[in-house]
Structure 1
Amino acid sequence: MRPTASALLALAGQSYAGLIRMGCSQLNIQRIDPLVTPGVAPSPHMHQLIGGNSLNITMDPSNHDLPSLSMCTSCQAVDDFSNYWTALAPLGFEGQTGGMTVYYMTGQLADLNQTNKATAFKPGFRMFVGDINARTLEEALPYRQLTFTCLEEMSTRWPETKYLPTKPCPAGIMANVRFPTCWDGVNLDSPNHMDHVSYPESGTFESQGPCPSTHPVRLPQLMYEVVFDTKPFNDPADWPEDGSQPFVWSFSDKTGYGTHGDYVFGWKDDALQKIIDERCYVDCKTMKTQSIEQMKACTLEPQVVEDIDGCKSRSQIVPHRDPVVVPQLN
């Protein structure tokens, strides 16, 4: 499955020594969070769940072999049984069911002869980025590469803002979730799922910012592009008269500063490291792929049954009961 023209336009003017890009479809939508609130069912808010279909409510951290537990993956790379989850997003770039576009950027911007090598995540590796309670720019600044893009069209990638867009967006709103790219080299996780990783000491991964001495191992930059279909609310007459924007996350964030993402590594054997070492650009010879239809066929039965207004209902089929306070982003 080759990238579309619009996907390549999204990276116009940028050159990477290595760029893995793939679409991922939804496994399902339900109210669980096996990283932040493992075992809690239902969890405080709903997620779209993506990747290997071994994902479950608890995700035992002692079991590192996700490939052996999964029967399929909803991502393009057939060796990727990792799990990715974010707030619910109904749009997919290339025909997948909801989901997101996932990037592993393995080389810095505009340096095709770069010698710095990214080290693939290790079995058992997990991380979280963001602060669900952030409501100010100051609180969101530690997560300096969590942003939004107001899509004029699906190929729009600039400008980015830390806050939710303050004007109608013709093609929807995209959340850009970039994870830290430096690892302490020891811990596969940490109590808050963040302390074992770090952003570069200065600059960004793309500008070849150095890793701090406490986190010396350079990781690929993992990035999610998640599109929210806000087009039904593009009539300016539907927007507040005071000039504020009308959207709110289901965890009561009207600013967008609380955006976040979760990741559990699960690539098979050394498949990811081989792709990284190839230093390919999108069309990676060492990445085995599957079709969109095969991605969409990989699903997961919901594990949470909720009592809503006296009716037993699986959370997969009622995504709009809690996430939407019109209009609302989950």
Structure 2
Amino acid sequence: MFRLAPILSLLAVPAAAQHGYYFVLGTGMPVTIERLDPLLSDGKTPSQHVHSVVGGNGFAATMDYAQTQTSNCSTVQPIADKSNYWMPILYFQDPNNGSFIRVPEQPYHKIYSLLDKYGTSSNTYDTSIQEFPQEFRMIGGDATLRAENDTLMGPYGSGLEWFCHGNGTTEFPDISAVGFPTGFTACPNGFAASITLPSCWNGDDFNPSNPSAHMAYPTADGIDGCPETHRVARFPQIFVEYWLNIDTFDGLYTADDSPFVLTMGDATGYGFHVDFINGWESGALNATMPTCTPGNTGNPPLSDPTCFGNHGGIYTDDEIADCLLQPTTTEATGWTYPEIDNPQGGALTHGGVLSALPGCQTITKGPDRAVLTTCNETSPTTEGEVVQTDEVGVCNFD
């Protein structure tokens, strides 16, 4: 995975600041956390599993480009970026009683846009890269995976990795793995997932029945570095770091436990994925990609004219913090709206304790792919109770 090594190293350990043909979009807390997925469950409320959504407050059960442009604020920095990015949330399952507590997120997920020539160290801009079409959407990763998949995760794939950030001591070392790592009892500097989205396009629209078909990963620079079947266009390569705070669970599990589960019932971590729907204002990326080169240095800032200064600038931290979207249901997901959800002082029940995963998700450990099920045609009631209207029965999340 030589292409991603320089970026992955930023996640693995604190790296020296470096300029380059990439920029990092910082985020705040999610704009919403709920069961919505306009890509795979268009129009369904609720959808199959819970997502943490960052980006514009125009996010809805049904999305097109026009809907993204209704956003009047965002939890992602550039004002020109009204896109949405969403990923499955993580729960801590108490090894003693089996209850679920949502793992709080750190308010600084990072979204990298990689623009340099593939596999080079010369920081050379790849002039074949162009901005996303207005109605573009894609997914990186696969929610059904429960084992490592070399085709999808290995070299020239998603590069999925989970990382427990220690503090440099033998008691708390750094530990990483493709799925959930084990062998730790605390992650003093954070717990994180990282994943790369594909960037080579075959020109087709997103197809919910085959959501990865229209995209592929590159193996070299330029449009010719894309598979022959996917050379209609090459887009910025999106790399996402999803940062979590597991400090509140210290002492509740041992190094032999694997207490974490993703919201779709994934107890392995291999099913982590990121969805993206384009909301960039037309022309903004094409104008800024050749000149915006702060890399991970923060200099020049994204508000500089070489980046987004001539395209609306960036939101302030306060504006990002104030950008919240009222959830569309009252289902309990472990998130208390609109309270800032970054617990301090061991607030273990912040957001509520759930007796089951939202949507009646079944926990699966693989290695076979999971068959994702849910409480279909649900109707939300108070206190997060979801009433099943088909033969499965009733799911209560108190």
Q: TM-score, structure 1 length as denominator?
A: 0.78
In structure 1, runs of 5+ residues without a counterpart are 1-5, 95-99, 326-330
* Structure 1 residue 38: Cα displacement: 1.7
5 Å-filtered alignment, 1:1-330, equals: 10-12=14-16, 16-59=20-63, 63-88=64-89, 90-94=104-108, 100-108=109-117, 109-138=120-149, 141=153, 143-152=157-166, 160-168=176-184, 169-184=187-202, 186-191=203-208, 192-200=210-218, 202=219, 210-216=225-231, 217-235=233-251, 238-239=253-254, 243-282=256-295, 283-284=301-302, 285=304, 286-287=307-308, 288-306=313-331, 317=337, 320-321=353-354, 322-323=356-357
Checking the alignment, whether the CA contact within 8 Å between 2:69 and 2:82 is kept in structure 1 is no
* Cα distance in 1 for residues equivalent to 2:265 and 2:214: 28
Does the CA contact (< 8 Å) of 1:28 and 1:316 recur in 2? no
3-state SS in 2 of match to 1:252: coil
Cα 1:314/1:131, change in 2 over 3 Å: closer
1:222 alignment partner, SS class: strand
Is residue 29–residue 315 contact of structure 1 (8 Å, CA) maintained in 2? yes
Looking at structure 2, the residues matched to 238 and 209 of structure 1 have their Cα atoms a distance apart, in angstroms, of: 49
Q: CA deviation at 1:176?
A: 0.5
How far 1:291 moved relative to its partner? 0.8
Number of equivalenced pairs: 296
SS in structure 1 of the partner of residue 286 of structure 2: helix
**Change beyond 3 A, Cα 1:31–1:67:** closer
Which string of whole-angstrom CA distances, capped at 9 and with x for unpartnered residues, describes residues 168-205 of structure 1? Answer: 22233201021012112x224233332111012x37x7
Relative to structure 1, the CA distance from residue 279 to residue 132 in structure 2 (aligned partners, 3 Å threshold; closer, same or farther) is same
User: 1:159/1:271 Cα in 2 relative to 1: closer, same or farther (>3 Å)?
Assistant: farther
CA RMSD of aligned residues (A): 3.3
CA drift at 1:153: 5.4
Rg (Cα) greater in structure: 2
* The 10-residue stretch of structure 1 (47-56 or 81-90) with the greater mean CA deviation from structure 2: 81-90
Aligned partner of residue 326 in structure 2, secondary structure: coil
Greater length-normalized contact order (CA 8 Å, ≥ 6 residues apart):
1
Tell whether the 8 Å contact from 2:25 to 2:76 is kept in structure 1 after alignment.
no
Q: What is the distance in 2 between the residues matched to 1:111 and 1:214?
A: 28
1:40 offset after TM fit, Å?
Answer: 2.0
Shift of 1:160: 4.5
Superimposed CA distance per residue, residues 271-322 of structure 1 (whole angstroms, 9 cap, x where no aligned partner): 122221214224342311121110111111111233x7xxxx9976557535
Name the aligned partner's letter for residue 32 of structure 2.
N
Q: CA offset at residue 110 of structure 1?
A: 1.8
Write the distance in 2 (CA, Å) between the matches of 1:25 and 1:93. Answer: 5
Does the 8 A contact of 1:19 with 1:107 survive in 2?
A: no
Deviation, 1:73, is 1.6
Q: CA deviation at 1:67?
A: 5.0
Measured after TM superposition, the shift of residue 120 of structure 1 is 1.3
Deviation track 1:85-112 (CA, whole Å, cap 9, x = no partner) reads 1123633355xxxxx2211111145222
Report percent identity of matched pairs. Answer: 26
Whether contact under 8 Å (2:28, 2:107) holds in the other structure is: no
Which one-letter code corresponds to 2:326 in the other structure? Answer: E
Deviating 4+ runs (over 6 angstroms): none
* SS of corresponding position for 1:232: helix
> Is the Cα contact below 8 Å between 2:88 and 2:264 reproduced in 1?
no
SS at match of 1:295: helix
